[in-house]
Every structure is written in structure tokens, then in C-alpha cells.
Chains A and B, each alone.
Chain A
Amino acid sequence: MDGGFHRLRVAATRAETERATSLVFEVPEGLREAFRWKAGQHVTLRFHLGGEEVRRPYSISAKPEGGRLRVTVKRHESGLVSNHVNDRVAAGDVVEVMPPFGGFYLDPDPRARRTYYFFGAGSGITPVFAMIGSVLGSEPHSVARLAYGNVDAGSVIFREDLTRMEEGSDGRLLVRHVLSSPSRASSPAPWRRGRVDARCVADFINEHPPYAQDTRYYVCGPGGMNAAVRRALLDIDVPDTRIRMESYGPVEPPDDSLAGVAAEATVRLGGATLTVPVAAGQTVLAATRAADETPPFSCESGVCGACRAMLRRGRVHLRARMALTDADISRGAILTCQALPITPRLTVEYD
């Protein structure tokens, strides 16, 4: 283990679409406990590409109950890691993986009776796919409904798996495809054209109203879609407490209204207390790493929450804060990858 990472062998790869690949990892007996996950959580992969260390979070796309640790990575136009994974990683390779983490998860309860609405787009299906598997397998009284947005039928990840699960679910799973530019011979025909937006959300719920009345709403897609779906749900009086979201990218551009000042930070990390100089404009995370320490982090864009810490003294400006709720912030939580000091002295404590 190194900085929280473990070297796992890739047991198999599978092309899911022309632009997405799954990696299945072998988890040795001794690491089983550390790599136990909840449906919806993600792992962080680390690579050294062109002399740089890069980390990216990827959701686990398999249900925890009997599933094998698997991620599914979709290419981004000129994206560094996603293309590396699709082009270069093969069965037998060793990849550095940090254990499962994240607050976007679904804990199945065999006695519960719920209606789950899932809204996903593109690679946002990965955690949702694990969640649907958990509900079908471990919550026998509950039903799941998925509205899944993609460009065209060819880019639908897990298309065949979803069809098979729907057909074998005895009515417990309903999948509806939303395609923004379906080809003419699109198969299966989409439920509708367009995007997973406010109209789509309202129509989906009206056409498929909840049966079990304990409803839950899980949303996972690009930041813009997440914000639109949430607004649409609040608009029809869905209580906020029933909505869970995870975004794969920031909703808004970073807030650069404050520049940050040079500061001296007292950082408590793994039982040690260090003094770290932070340059003007540098984040607390960057400064701590520059001091040769190994603080936790993953997405470096304020989305995943891996770099979270508590601010005990001083003040910081958060350029982005997607991964925190208002309640987290009022308790003093910060995302160190987004935190610029605005007072010359700070005390920061990692969990």
C-alpha cells in the first residue's frame, strides 16, 4: 500500500460500447475487507502518465452482493486518463486503486418497500447500474425505474444487460431510453428524443407514478443535468431529503471571485501535525502535497469529496463545493482541493 493505494491486477476487460471499457479487478483475499463497497460508491485510480501523477474517481459498476470489483470508463475527447484506460490497460496489468469511498450510495433493506427513480446520462449509469442490481437482488418488495440519456443507441452503456434485467424482473425494473440524436434505425426505439431535462422528468413520473409510496430519487450525470433534474423534482414538490445526486463534473465554473492569500497552515494528517506554507493562489491540498505529504484526494475538482477536511481555525475561499452540503459547511467541512486561504493562519484537520 502506498498513500492509500493498492496494486490490483486487472482480471478482465470488456468493451461496453465503442467508447467505453470495463475493467474487472482481482481483489486478493487479504484486501477483501478494505475493498468492500456499497452500491454507488467509487474507487480512485492512480496512473503515472508522462511523468505526472494523475488520479481520477470511477464509480464501481457492479453490485456489492456477489459482484466483482469493476469500473467502466468512458472516453472523454482528449481526456488523459479515460483514453489511457480505453487504449492501453489490458488484462494482467496492475493498476493502483484506492479503496471504495463516497456518500452517494444505496443500502438495500430486504424489508423495505420503495419506488426508486433513477435519472442517468452517459457514464453516469455506472453507479446506478450497481444500485439497480442491489435493489433487484436484495430488496424484493421494491421497484426501480430508470430514465437514461445518451446520444444514440450505440453509446448506451450496459444496453443489453439492462434489457435482460428488465425482462427478467417480473415488472420490478422499467428502463426508458432518452436519445438526443437517435439514428433512424435505432434499436431499441427510444422512449423519447432529447435530453433528461425538466420535461422528461415530469413526464416520466406521470407516466410511471410511484407504486410503493416510499420514493427515492437518484440522479447521476453531468453537472448540468443533475441541476436540471433536481430543480424539476423540487418543482413538483419532491422533498429534497428524498433526492441523492452525484455529479461527474462541476455544475458551475469555479468561483474565482477571491484570489487567496499566502498563509501558514497547521495541518493535522494521520496523527501528525505539520506546518505547511501555502502560497497566494495555491490550494491547501496542493501546498500539503508540495510539502511531500500524502493527503487524500481524487478528482481535484470539488466533486468527489475525497479531499475533505475540517477547518479548525482561520477562513478559506472554496472555488467549488459540489461535494459538500450546506450542513457540512456550517460544521466547518472544506474541500482542500478547492480551498484558498483568506486569513494568514489556518488549522486544517483531515478525518
Chain B
Amino acid sequence: MADRRGMPILPVEAYTSRAWFDREQERIFSRTWACAGLAEDVAEPGQYVSVQAGLNNIFIVMGRDRRLRAFHNICRHRGTQLLRAVGKTQRAIVCPYHDWTYDLEGRLVSVPDRERQFPGVDLDCVSLKKASVDLWRGMLWVHPDENAGSIMDWFGEVEPHLGPHEVDELAEYPKGRTEHTIEANWKIVVENYIDGYHLAHLHSGTLGMYDHSRIESGFVGPHFAFWEPLAPDYAKDVEKNSPYPLVIPAEQAGAWVPMLFPGIGLAETESTWSLFHVNPISPDRTRVVIRTRVAAVPYRAFARQAARSRRFWARRVSGKFEGHGDDPMASGDFMAEDIYACEQQQRSLRSPYFEHGPSSEGEAGVREHQELVRRWVEG
């Protein structure tokens, strides 16, 4: 084929091999800020969550001063994992193996039978290894390196390209929390997210409320920024026709859909704010966790807004194809459409006849993301 704009930048193995996967875990996911959930997941002293950041398991716990601390979740004795997924502790962390006990500053404060078992061994300076932790845009963030520096060194440049949302003032909508296991490499999921070309096509029936002809997007450092305005007929009466109460002023209505590196997508729209967290599980399997926030207003306001906007949406959303409800292409659900497209691509990578075709203007972000991954993995 003549001009493929240098595609593919990454070889097929980047999407299928264990060696590539392991290298990405080590070189990308162990060296960047990892999203550990929403701020409200750790909201009380003693509460903790643990999170995998590449090769590192890290837990975040809140102290009585309401400050978050983050430590590598490995006992300084023989490395046993200290805390499981989520929970609440008192003022100490006890290893299940030999009951070594640490305080919330990570200091080893008690060792059973210490005099007899460790005669002459200095255990006074033993501490859990620290990680960095911060809150940003209503999300919890950890970095495996205690001296990672300010999180603004990482996100400061892209922040002005994100939505005008006061994320902390929105409230999580519990039913908006979904998890999807996708049979595709994490980069296919990310590339689909930043591919502006497919929006008007794969999602012709589902994302027509935005004007895909006026997209503004591009990389800002390692992060992909994306904005598009509402479609004119929706914009005309967005206060009435928005499916949920607005979360930003009507004059600013639009969608900011950045993909922060690596694999942390946001969808910040006029009526919702969502996290689209891409977690690599294996070379051909990815888990996406979606968390959604909406306006922090009483239930009545949602009911009223749904009633006002029902007529508008009934005419607006449909499946791409006619068919049964369980066919993703007939579902009228853009997430189902995306998952379908990702899994189909992954499958085709196995075909000896697979060959990359030319890449469009609207896929510039895809090319740049591949380039970015290549640099991190080689670097």
C-alpha cells in the first residue's frame, strides 16, 4: 500500500506478546502516576484501598489528620501483602504472616517475641517503603516513587485543556459504576478512545448529540486532549434536552474526552463526568472500570430533567443496524459498539493475512499514542 503514514508504528507483537506486556508493565505502568479510584473511596481516617501500579501493589490509607499516606503493600519481613483490596483499619497495620505491626507512618512498632527471635538485630529503623499520593480532579493518584515530585509536573500542562467542571462538587452515581472485561490489548482500547474518525460512523446512531466535524484534539505532552461541541439542534435547547441536570454552564456545554497517559480516560460532558480507567490484565485482555459523577442535586431534579428531555432522546438514539437487542451493533449503546470493534480488531491480529491500511487525519492521535508507547518501552 502506498502511503500508510508510517503505520504501523508498533508491530503486531506489541498487542499479542507476553514480553511486550511485561515490558510495558515495568517501563510504563511502574513509572507513572496511577489512578487509584475516586477521592470518596478513602474518606475517613483508617480507611484504605490498595491498587496495582504496574509491578507495584500500593495501599493508600488516611490518617487522623485526614492526610493520605501511601506505602508499598509489602511487609518488610518477608514481603507478605499487608492489606487486602479495601477496608478500614485502626491505628496500626498488622502483617498476617508473623504479626509484625506498623503505624500509619509506616514505622515498624511491634515484632512478636522480639528479644528471643531477633537478639541483637536492630529493628528500630525498619519502615514500610513510601510511595507518593495525591488528590487531583476528584481522583486518587499514586506513584511508586516516594520522590515523584508534584503531580502538577505530570498533569499541569494538560489541565487547561480539560473541562470547566468542578469535579469535587459532583456526586458519584452508583449505578454508573460498571466494569467491562474486553478481549483486546489495552492499547487497542486506548486507540479506539482517541480515534476521532470512528465517532461519526461506528456511533452514527449513538453519539449524534455532538458535532464531530468540529473536534479539537491533540497530544499535550504524554496526554491526549479532546473537545467537541454539541450538535446544533441539541445545543439550541440544552437546558431542556440534556438527559440529566447540567454540570457546567449551558454556554460552555460540550464534551471534553481526554485520554491521560497511560490509559486513564475521562469523559467530561455537559451533564456527566466519567472516569474510563483502562487496566491491562494480559496481552489480549483488558478491564475497563467506569465511574460516573453527576450533579449533586436531589433525585427529583433528575426525574424532572428525564421527563423534559424524553421526547428529544426518543428520536435521537438508535442502533447502527436493525437487529436483536443482544447484537451490540443494534444495541443503541456506544460502549457495546466500542467493545465489539476492539475485540474484532484483536482477533484479526492473529490472522496471517492481517496488514495495516492507511491511517486518516482523524487517527493522528492513534499514531502518536503508538509512538509514545514505543518511546517509553524503549527508553
Could you tell me which A residues sit within 8 Å of B by CB distance? 111-113, 141, 205-206, 209-215, 233, 236-239
Contact = CB atoms under 8 A, between A and B. Distances in A.
A5 to B, nearest CB: 41
A110 to B, nearest CB: 9
A213 B133 CA distance: 7
A238 B153 contact: no
B135 A213 contact: yes
Contact of A111 (B91, B133, B152, B168): B152
23 contacts: A111-B150, A111-B152, A111-B156, A113-B150, A113-B151, A141-B150, A141-B152, A205-B66, A206-B66, A210-B66, A211-B135, A211-B168, A212-B135, A213-B67, A213-B134, A233-B65, A236-B63, A236-B64, A237-B64, A237-B91, A237-B103, A238-B65, A238-B67
Given A113-B150, A113-B152, A213 B104 contact: no
Contacts of B64: 236-237
Given A141-B150, A238-B65, 8 more contacts: A112-B150, A205-B65, A211-B168, A212-B134, A213-B134, A215-B65, A236-B64, A237-B63
Given A141-B150, A141-B152, A237-B105, A113 B66 contact: no
Contacts of B66: 205-206, 209-210
- Nearest first, the 8 closest Cβ-Cβ pairs linking A and B are A209-B66, A236-B64, A236-B65, A238-B65, A141-B152, A113-B150, A237-B63, A213-B134
B150 A215 contact: no
Interface in B120-174: 133-135, 149-153, 156, 168
Contacts of B152: 111, 113, 141
- Is chain A's binding surface mostly helix, strand, loop or mixed? loop
Contacts of A141: 150, 152, 156
B68 interface: yes
Contacts of A211: 135, 168
Task: Give the bracket for the number of chain B residues in contact with chain A.
Answer: 20 to 34
Contacts of B104: 237
A270 B230 CA distance: 73
Contacts of A236: 63-65
Interface string B60-85: 00011111100000000000000000
A93 to B, nearest CB: 45
Contacts of A239: 105
Nearest to B60: A213
A305 B268 CA distance: 53
Nearest to A111: B150
Nearest to A210: B67
A206 to B, nearest CB: 7
A113 B134 contact: yes
Contacts of B134: 113, 212-214
Nearest to A109: B150
Interface string B36-79: 00000000000000000000000000011111100000000000
Interface in B90-138: 91, 103-105, 133-135
Contacts of A238: 65, 67
B147 to A, nearest CB: 12
Contacts of B150: 111-113, 141, 214
Contacts of A205: 65-66
Contacts of A210: 65-67
Nearest to B134: A213
A292 B103 CA distance: 55
A212 B67 CA distance: 9
A167 to B, nearest CB: 17
Nearest to A233: B65
B317 to A, nearest CB: 37
A141 B150 CA distance: 10
A150 B64 CA distance: 27
A213 B65 contact: no
A211 B68 CA distance: 10
A209 B40 CA distance: 12
Nearest to B103: A237
Contacts of A233: 65
Contacts of B149: 111
Nearest to A235: B64
Contacts of B65: 205, 210, 215, 233, 236-238
A211 B166 CA distance: 14
A9 to B, nearest CB: 42
Contacts of B168: 211
Contacts of B103: 237
B294 to A, nearest CB: 21
A162 to B, nearest CB: 24
Nearest to A171: B166
A338 B104 CA distance: 39
Contacts of A113: 134, 150-152
A211 B133 CA distance: 11
Contact of A213 (B68, B105, B156): B68
A141 B134 CA distance: 13
A229 to B, nearest CB: 13
Contacts of B156: 111, 141
Contacts of B135: 211-213
Contacts of B67: 210, 213, 215, 238
A148 B33 CA distance: 36
A321 to B, nearest CB: 27
Contacts of A213: 67-68, 133-135
